[in-house]
Amino acid sequence: MKVLVTYYTDSGNTEKVAKAIYEAIDQAEKEIVPLAEAQNKDLSRYDLIFYGFPVNASSVPAKAQSFLKALPQGAKLALFSTHGSFRGGPLAVTGIYNAMSLAKQAMALGSFCCQGKVKESILEALEKKPEHKPWVEEARSAVDHPDVHDLEEARDFTRKMLTKAGSYLS
């Protein structure tokens, strides 16, 4: 099996998860590259593509969207994201739904999300507006993430995705 791990990151959180995913891939030919590099690859050569992004405005960052739109028909996709909001909360879940709707041609096999520390400059700017205060409080709980438990869960997710993708090969 040929597996690609690619990710977009601004402050490094999503890259940490990407590396944990990459480490957990065994018994497969694997590659890890930042998104800018993955855009030049022939994506039809991979049996499974892990794609990670930081949630921005409840979606995929604008410059990280074209990759999802350009995935080949039927490409097996495992999505992962990091976000400031609580895990499993509506804002985090919306990010994954938006990614799936951008990747219309692909077959999403599953997704993994965890919190990721939000840049202090963003929190300070948002805190000045009363309507954003509740979110800022929520996002401050992301300060120690991704942590070792998040990364362990990311490895478990990886194994599940590999099994799922493998079932399409046999």
Ligand X SMILES: Cc1cc2nc3c(=O)[nH]c(=O)nc-3n(C[C@H](O)[C@H](O)[C@H](O)COP(=O)(O)O)c2cc1C
Which residues of the shown chain bind ligand X in the complex (CB under 6 A)? 9-14, 54-58, 82-85, 91-92, 116-119, 122
Residue 29 or 144: the one with the smaller Cβ distance to ligand X is: 144
Question: 75 or 146, CB closer to ligand X?
Answer: 146
What's the rounded Cα separation, in Å, for the pair 144 and 152? 15
The one-letter amino acid code at 8 reads Y
Cβ–Cβ < 8 Å for 109, 78: yes
CB of 71 to ligand X, least distance (A): 20
CB of 23 to ligand X, least distance (A): 17
Strand partners, 30: 3
Collapse the DSSP code of 113 into the 3-class scheme (helix H, G, I; strand E, B; otherwise coil) and give the result.
strand
Residue 1 or 143: the one with the smaller Cβ distance to ligand X is: 143
Which residue sits closest to ligand X, CB atoms considered? 116
Distance of CA 168 to the CA centre of its chain: 22
- Least separation in angstroms between residue 45's CB and ligand X is 26
Residue 27 Cβ, how far from ligand X at the closest point, in Å? 28
Tally Cβ neighbours within 10 Å of residue 170.
Answer: 4
Question: Least distance to ligand X from the beta carbon of 89, Å?
Answer: 8
CB nearer to ligand X: give 1 or 135: 135
Q: How many CA atoms lie within 13 A of 120 on its CB side?
A: 1
Burial of 73 (0-12, 13-18, 19+ CB in 10 A): exposed
Nearer to ligand X, 13 or 158 (CB): 13
